[in-house]
Structure 1
Amino acid sequence: MVLTRISLYEIVKSLKKAEEGSIGRQTRWISSLKVVWKKDTRLDEAIEKDKRYKQCARVVKEVLNEPGQVIPLRYLEKRRERLRLTFKAKSFVDMNPCLFEIYYDRIKPKSEPVQFIRPTPRLRAFLVDEERIYAENEPLLVSKLCRLLMMAKDHVICADKLVHVKRDFGFPNDFLVKLVPKYPNYFRLIGSPEQGKSFLELVSWNPDLAKSTIQLRAQDETLKTGVRVRPNFNVKLPSGFFLRKEMREWTRDWLEQDYISPYEDVSHLDQASKEMEKRTVGVVHELLSLSLLKRVPVPTLGKFCDEFRFSNAFSTVFTRHSGIFYLSLKGGIKTAVLREAYKDDELVDRDPLLAIKDKFLRLLEDGWQERKDRLKQHREQVQKDRDLLLAAESNEPIERLCD
């Protein structure tokens, strides 16, 4: 009798083990294989280089949003923490002479004059150039906005979320007010913007835009070689990065799966299926490809989990697919970077709208050089005055106290 019990126990145990193994084989596509995160110094440097540029852009935006595009310097000083300025506002203005100029005015008619700042003529000239570049690239802006909506569930995205990511994708500040109404054949703004419940909806589907970057690349290669090329991801592991054997096998099998376009309807797919992971990677790849710098903070992408049907654990794809993406931790913010868009720390896949950033950087660098030259001249003048003073003192006659 004891033997029978043991036999039944072993049978039940073996059945449970087999069942667990079967479940494990089904879910290992999603959760069982993990990759150790490895720092990529070059890509971190690319993010670090933009730190000063972004800081200047934040302050410029702050001033331009003020009535009359002017602000008392002391008011800007009070906003230092929100603007993430690590030094005084006056020092910032002095360090960037091409951005703002200081003048005196009254806050109230009978108050004492205080220091105000306003855009310099050179900054205003840049703003005119910015408008021109936006106008020249309007078809690109429209296609980007269409593609975002075409990937979204029900082809609708909350307007507030789009405003939040406008800088990431290169949209102008007023795109909902000026760009969207110009294309009623593509876009419809629904809801109440005043109450923060407005949504942007796609009106018509453009099949010419429903091709991802990966599909277009495969199409180009097919035309060049005359051999049909399957759409798939470029996997480029960083130097010194190695995958364990089981992970290499998993990656190989995963790449063999059919590519799922981010513009396909996937409402029928199970969230935990391997096909859905393939589609998630495809959507993230397309979002990063559409972005201005081919990188987007992970929390920003996370705001669109519902619209793009991401799971709550979608961010794990950045480490599991480390040959496609890089997860940077620079600045205490997780940033998803598209590896194929960079060579070392240089962006090679450049968006035409980056011409705006290039012009702004030149404006900043001109100001930095002018300040550097001014400080150098000041030091040279101080040294010259010191030398003249020492020479004058050495030529003075010595007074004799007694004969």
Structure 2
Amino acid sequence: MWRRSPIHLRQSFVARSFSQSTSIPKNLQRVRDHGFDNVMEVEKKIRRALHLQSYLLSQPSGSLPVSQLDVVARRYHAFGPHETGNFLLKHPHVFHVFDHPVQRRLWVRLTPRAALRLRQESDAVRSMLPDAVRRLRKLLLLAARSRRLRLEHIRLVRHDLGLPDDFLQSVVLANPSFFRLVVSSDFPDDPRAKYVEFVDEPDDGNDLAEFTMCAIERTRELQYRERGADAEDSRFAFLINFPPGFKIGKYYRIAVWKWQRLPYWSPYEDVSGYDLRSLEAQRRMEKRMVATIHELLSLTVEKRMTMERIAQFRQAMGLPKKLKAFLLQHQGIFYFSTRGNRGKLHTVFLREAYRKGELVEPNELYLARRKLGELLLLSPKKANLDRMLTSLGRGMDAFSGGSGAKSKLIGDEGEQRSENEDSGSDSGVESQFVD
């Protein structure tokens, strides 16, 4: 029987490996990056604190018995037995546990320092509202064919975009020249039948080309100005930074090199009229999906979003069905973290936007939200309880009265103190799945 020589076997193996290098391999294993995972470990504490904080602020007095808060936390926020009390005691800079003078039970309320962070974050949201309007307009343009998205989907990502909780009134309805609320006549009461649509007014003074320019295109433009003709090869390239320990073979490097030079259509361009049956068109569409997710993350305040929230835009923006495998295929551009919410949510980071666990270009709202994490990380041994109790005694007016505690905490000027500390975060991160 005829057998092939070792030389022929080696040559066929090399040819077969080289033929597989024309596209980036699929089904890659995730390589952990502890810098991003540590960010999500802090985010886990912030998320838990925000759940408790929102329930406290829903009370007229801004305070609640610890036993009642424990029941709510165990039922709705996956706290374990006795876990709520331990969490409150571990973070005395945020929660003040005290003995009620009449009922003789342990009650809890926010400290003035936590209330101050709530006020300062609210100020940051208001000051960045024009930028949030611009981000929402670009988000609608990413749905290139219809230029509209479901109101419920926008509501789920409102904190990611830096929108206020009442964005429907303060942003959508307050700017009829930018947005249009479309309600289905067949199901007027169904929230899934309400859409926010992009309005292109010729007299609004805004250039549509400026809205349809991606963040990666601005980065390439800066590189071209710095490098000149040497940046011609990066005309369609993305910034790639693989996680530590990621193995890059020879043929994988060739595949990435070819992929970086592959032309693609802009995420803001309507491709419904193109013939997408050829192999070249399918490869361009795959790269366009990468650009779409890249642009979606670039529009967020913290340059990250859960995979479940990205998946809700799958149909409107033409994203792949197997989103997790698709993201793992491009680990040099995105980082996929399972930390932060007991594995129920999966957070996607834009790698180029972070350095050593922090944003390269922080904004006012990001800095305000980060301060709550710093407050939670403070050691309880360093809490000056006497000073905090004295501050609570002088600022208790904010917790009294018949109206809601949140508006009083935000509007009370007497709680501002010269502690050289910025705001925390009052915006909760939803932990439910997106269908």
Q: Is residue 44 from structure 1 mapped to residue 37 from structure 2 by the alignment?
A: yes
Task: Provide the rounded CA distance (Å) in 1 between the counterparts of 2:64 and 2:211.
Answer: 43
Pick aligned residue for 2:373 from 354, 357, 361: 361
Q: Are residues 36 and 119 of structure 1, via their aligned partners in 2, closer, same or farther at CA, if it must alter by over 3 Å?
A: closer
Q: Is residue 215 from structure 1 mapped to residue 220 from structure 2 by the alignment?
A: no
Residue number in structure 2 paired with 1:95: 90
Question: How does 1:27-42 map onto structure 2 within 5 Å?
Answer: 29=23, 33-42=26-35
Residue number in structure 1 paired with 2:242: 237
Residue number in structure 2 paired with 1:339: 351
Residue number in structure 2 paired with 1:201: 197
Task: Provide the rounded CA distance (Å) in 2 between the counterparts of 1:360 and 1:207.
Answer: 38
Uncovered stretches (5+) of structure 2, i.e. residues with no partner: 1-18, 202-207, 387-435
Aligned-residue offset at 1:226 = 4.7
Aligned-residue offset at 1:287 = 1.4
Asked whether the 8 Å contact 1:217–1:231 carries over to 2, the reply is: no
Q: Are residues 344 and 113 of structure 1, via their aligned partners in 2, closer, same or farther at CA, if it must alter by over 3 Å?
A: closer
Aligned-residue offset at 1:239 = 3.0
Residue number in structure 2 paired with 1:127: 118
Task: Provide the rounded CA distance (Å) in 2 between the counterparts of 1:370 and 1:194.
Answer: 52
Asked whether the 8 Å contact 1:103–1:115 carries over to 2, the reply is: yes
Residue number in structure 1 paired with 2:77: 83
Question: How does 1:214-363 map onto structure 2 within 5 Å?
Answer: 214-227=216-229, 230-268=235-273, 270=276, 273-330=282-339, 331-332=342-343, 333-363=345-375
Residue number in structure 1 paired with 2:429: none
Aligned-residue offset at 1:72 = 4.3
Aligned-residue offset at 1:118 = 3.9
Task: Provide the rounded CA distance (Å) in 2 between the counterparts of 1:225 and 1:29.
Answer: 28
SS in 1 for 2:133: helix
The one-letter amino acid paired with 2:248 is L
Greater mean alpha carbon deviation, residues 315-324 or residues 142-151: 315-324
Greater mean alpha carbon deviation, residues 281-290 or residues 220-229: 220-229
Asked whether the 8 Å contact 1:158–1:199 carries over to 2, the reply is: yes
Residue number in structure 2 paired with 1:177: 169
> For residues 126-147 of structure 1, what are the alpha-carbon distances to aligned partners after superposition, in whole Å with 9 as ceiling and x for unaligned?
3322222112211211111111
Residue number in structure 2 paired with 1:385: none
Task: Provide the rounded CA distance (Å) in 2 between the counterparts of 1:72 and 1:160.
Answer: 33
Scaled by the length of structure 2, the TM-score of the pair is: 0.69
Task: Provide the rounded CA distance (Å) in 2 between the counterparts of 1:137 and 1:180.
Answer: 15
Uncovered stretches (5+) of structure 1, i.e. residues with no partner: 1-24, 107-111, 375-403
Identical counterparts, % of pairs: 27
Asked whether the 8 Å contact 1:80–1:88 carries over to 2, the reply is: no
> For residues 18-71 of structure 1, what are the alpha-carbon distances to aligned partners after superposition, in whole Å with 9 as ceiling and x for unaligned?
xxxxxxx99x858x6443332222322222232212221222123334556554
Task: Provide the rounded CA distance (Å) in 1 between the counterparts of 2:367 and 2:312.
Answer: 28
Q: Are residues 240 and 370 of structure 1, via their aligned partners in 2, closer, same or farther at CA, if it must alter by over 3 Å?
A: closer
SS in 2 for 1:207: helix
The one-letter amino acid paired with 1:125 is L
Scaled by the length of structure 1, the TM-score of the pair is: 0.74
Q: Are residues 350 and 283 of structure 1, via their aligned partners in 2, closer, same or farther at CA, if it must alter by over 3 Å?
A: same
Task: Provide the rounded CA distance (Å) in 2 between the counterparts of 1:37 and 1:325.
Answer: 11
The one-letter amino acid paired with 1:47 is M
Q: Are residues 294 and 279 of structure 1, via their aligned partners in 2, closer, same or farther at CA, if it must alter by over 3 Å?
A: same
Residue number in structure 2 paired with 1:61: 54
> For residues 198-230 of structure 1, what are the alpha-carbon distances to aligned partners after superposition, in whole Å with 9 as ceiling and x for unaligned?
221111273322111101112223334454652
SS in 2 for 1:280: helix
Aligned-residue offset at 1:113 = 8.0
Task: Provide the rounded CA distance (Å) in 2 between the counterparts of 1:91 and 1:173.
Answer: 30
RMSD of aligned Cα (Å): 3.3
**Structure with the larger helix share:** 1
Task: Provide the rounded CA distance (Å) in 1 between the counterparts of 2:337 and 2:63.
Answer: 36
Greater mean alpha carbon deviation, residues 176-185 or residues 81-90: 81-90
The one-letter amino acid paired with 2:142 is M
Task: Provide the rounded CA distance (Å) in 2 between the counterparts of 1:204 and 1:68.
Answer: 46
Asked whether the 8 Å contact 1:133–1:355 carries over to 2, the reply is: no
Asked whether the 8 Å contact 1:231–1:259 carries over to 2, the reply is: yes
Task: Provide the rounded CA distance (Å) in 1 between the counterparts of 2:238 and 2:227.
Answer: 18
Task: Provide the rounded CA distance (Å) in 1 between the counterparts of 2:53 and 2:172.
Answer: 25
The one-letter amino acid paired with 1:123 is A
SS in 1 for 2:36: helix
The one-letter amino acid paired with 1:291 is T
Q: Is residue 136 from structure 1 mapped to residue 150 from structure 2 by the alignment?
A: no
Q: Are residues 97 and 36 of structure 1, via their aligned partners in 2, closer, same or farther at CA, if it must alter by over 3 Å?
A: closer
> For residues 373-403 of structure 1, what are the alpha-carbon distances to aligned partners after superposition, in whole Å with 9 as ceiling and x for unaligned?
78xxxxxxxxxxxxxxxxxxxxxxxxxxxxx
Aligned-residue offset at 1:105 = 9.4
Q: Are residues 43 and 100 of structure 1, via their aligned partners in 2, closer, same or farther at CA, if it must alter by over 3 Å?
A: closer
How many residues are matched? 344
The one-letter amino acid paired with 1:136 is S
Asked whether the 8 Å contact 1:214–1:231 carries over to 2, the reply is: no
Greater RCO, CA 8 A, separation 6+: 2
SS in 2 for 1:306: helix
SS in 1 for 2:332: coil
> For residues 258-308 of structure 1, what are the alpha-carbon distances to aligned partners after superposition, in whole Å with 9 as ceiling and x for unaligned?
143221112235398111111100011111222233222212211221121
Q: Are residues 199 and 169 of structure 1, via their aligned partners in 2, closer, same or farther at CA, if it must alter by over 3 Å?
A: same
